[in-house]
Chains A and B, each alone.
Chain A
Amino acid sequence: MIDKLQFSNLNFHYDAGTPLFVDVSAHLPEFENVHIVGESGTGKSVFLKLLAGLIMPVSGEYFVNGQSVTEMSFEEFLPYRKRIGYSFDYGGLLANRTIKDNLLLPLQYHGEVSTKEADERVDVMLHRFKLHTQRDRRPAAVSGSIRKTCIIARSLIQHPELLILDDPFIGLDREGVVVLLNTIDDHRKFKGLKHVFFTSRGESVAAKLATTSIKIENQNLTIDSLETRKAAGL
């Protein structure tokens, strides 16, 4: 169960790089579709990686349900990680596995669902995102939009509670965007999806999904509730 996400005095910078986050403390919005906005290079992707536990803050804490992720080993964070779906802005597919096998791997590896159910889940996802015709091809043999769609589909295959999408709409056609928005809606209603965090350069598409936004500027976060803004007539 992932209910509460919190940063406390969090600092982050890459080796010898300029700081991206300085002393950030925030309770992150829950049960919302959160659009992460900010100028290029301000750390939107880094924020998403911190949220997914793929990188750790240099100092400070990141709490999930009040438990400090920074102090957890890989195995201790694993129960949470299995409930987090992460979609990369580019790359991230295993080159020596087919499109189908890329989707199947997390289910096969963790063995939390039966082989039959894993196959059914993958089949549903392949058909929903229209990947079924490319299912037996490897990532290098398919187009960029198919790879992108496959990464998004894989992030949803374990029925995550926290979905993190880094620039999901880039490379998707109009139909793909509609399928993604419907799938998120469907997972929120029936598959236990609670929190969605995403970055997007396409403002119009992002507006269709976002209920809240977080702005990254001056190495800090500004949480802006769109509902509040709408209510205030802004």
Chain B
Amino acid sequence: MKVTQFFFSHIDELGRKVINIVLYTLNVLQMVYLSFRAAFYDQTQGFRTIVSVISAQVYFTGWQAMPLITVLALATGGIVIIQSAAQLSLLGGASMVGNLMVVIIVRELGPLITALVVIARSGTAVASEVGSMRVNREIEALESVGINPLSYIVFPRILGGVISVLCLAFYFNAVALIGGFFVTRLINDMPFAFYLDSLAGAFAAEDVWLFLLKNGFSGMIIFVVSCYQGMLVQQSPHEVPQVTTKAVVNSIIYCVTFNLATTTLFYLKQLIDLGLL
């Protein structure tokens, strides 16, 4: 009897968790829809004002993150080049270095590291900013003067965030692939022309789609989750750090899950195309 009770209580708990996750995801998706609807529905609303908020978001999220992204990209690119060049030379496959760089940097580490940096820098900032705005009644104030917070606060942050993440990921890839090579120049005797040739041969058309999909959605996930968590603050300042922590945790979970799912589907498609599945 006790074993049965134990078993069913765990099943119940699991069910509740799954339902909560599904409801949370639906609420977040609803906010995406409502914010885009609010931004495009009323054409009389100030487009210039929204553009100024978007550009501010791009400046804080994209431009100001570039030094950190540069350091991480150089380190990541350098490490992968050193490791792969050494191993591939031993196996006599040095010309595969480009393929390895594209697979590891462009397809996997680039989107993931960029997302983590943006979560750490801007996801926290947005969640705490929106939370503080709720506490200080700024959100209510916007509504009171006829400004929809979803179009003035949420929409520009999502759009600015997506633009920033795409630009940062492109920058990360460029610095990691090219800068990483020059960082390791002293201990790596591979000719640059050979390396470039190998890289050029490794890129495929689907890399562009994968890049846009992974980074675009990561940007959206981070800023939607952060805005949503910020909006959950009711009245008390002590809720702000709580929602900020939750925004970080949830953003990481959603981004990592999305990246993993995309990669899995991408390789399944490749296997199908090759006739292996």
Point out residues on A near B: beta carbons under 8 Å.
Answer: 52, 54, 74-75, 78, 81-82, 84, 86, 88, 90-95, 105-106, 108-112, 151, 154-155, 158
Assess whether B46 is in contact with A110, with CB atoms less than 8 Å apart. yes
Assess whether A110 is in contact with B45, with CB atoms less than 8 Å apart. yes
Assess whether A78 is in contact with B140, with CB atoms less than 8 Å apart. no
Q: What's the Cα separation between A111 and B148 when bound, in Å?
A: 15
Assess whether B138 is in contact with A95, with CB atoms less than 8 Å apart. yes
Residues of B close to A111: CB separation below 8 A: 44, 46
Smallest CB gap from A139: residue in B: B136
Q: What's the Cα separation between A81 and B146 when bound, in Å?
A: 6
Q: What's the interface size class on B, roughly?
A: 20 to 34
Assess whether B147 is in contact with A92, with CB atoms less than 8 Å apart. no
Q: What's the Cα separation between A95 and B135 when bound, in Å?
A: 12
B27-74 with Cβ < 8 A to chain A: 38, 41-42, 44-46, 48-49
Assess whether A74 is in contact with B148, with CB atoms less than 8 Å apart. yes
Q: What's the Cα separation between A160 and B152 when bound, in Å?
A: 22
Residues of B close to A91: CB separation below 8 A: 135-138, 141
Residues of B close to A95: CB separation below 8 A: 132-133, 136, 138
**Distance in Å: Cβ of A13 to nearest Cβ of chain B:** 15
B91 part of interface (Cβ distance < 8 Å): no
With A75-B42, A78-B146, A109-B147 given, can you name 14 additional A-B contacts, CB distance below 8 Å? A54-B143, A75-B38, A81-B143, A88-B140, A88-B141, A92-B137, A92-B141, A94-B138, A105-B147, A109-B45, A110-B146, A111-B44, A155-B144, A158-B146
Q: What's the Cα separation between A18 and B64 when bound, in Å?
A: 48
Q: What's the Cα separation between A54 and B41 when bound, in Å?
A: 20
Residues of A close to B148: CB separation below 8 A: 74-75
**Distance in Å: Cβ of A83 to nearest Cβ of chain B:** 9
**Distance in Å: Cβ of A111 to nearest Cβ of chain B:** 6
B274 part of interface (Cβ distance < 8 Å): no
Assess whether B49 is in contact with A109, with CB atoms less than 8 Å apart. yes
Nearest 3 A-B pairs (CB), nearest first?
A91-B137, A106-B145, A86-B144
**Distance in Å: Cβ of B71 to nearest Cβ of chain A:** 29
Q: What's the Cα separation between A77 and B148 when bound, in Å?
A: 11
Assess whether B140 is in contact with A92, with CB atoms less than 8 Å apart. yes
Smallest CB gap from A79: residue in B: B146
Give 25 pairs: A residue, B residue, CB < 8 Å, sorted on A: A54-B140, A54-B144, A74-B38, A74-B148, A78-B42, A81-B144, A81-B145, A82-B146, A88-B137, A88-B141, A91-B136, A92-B138, A92-B140, A93-B138, A93-B141, A94-B138, A95-B133, A106-B147, A108-B48, A109-B49, A109-B147, A110-B44, A110-B46, A154-B145, A158-B146
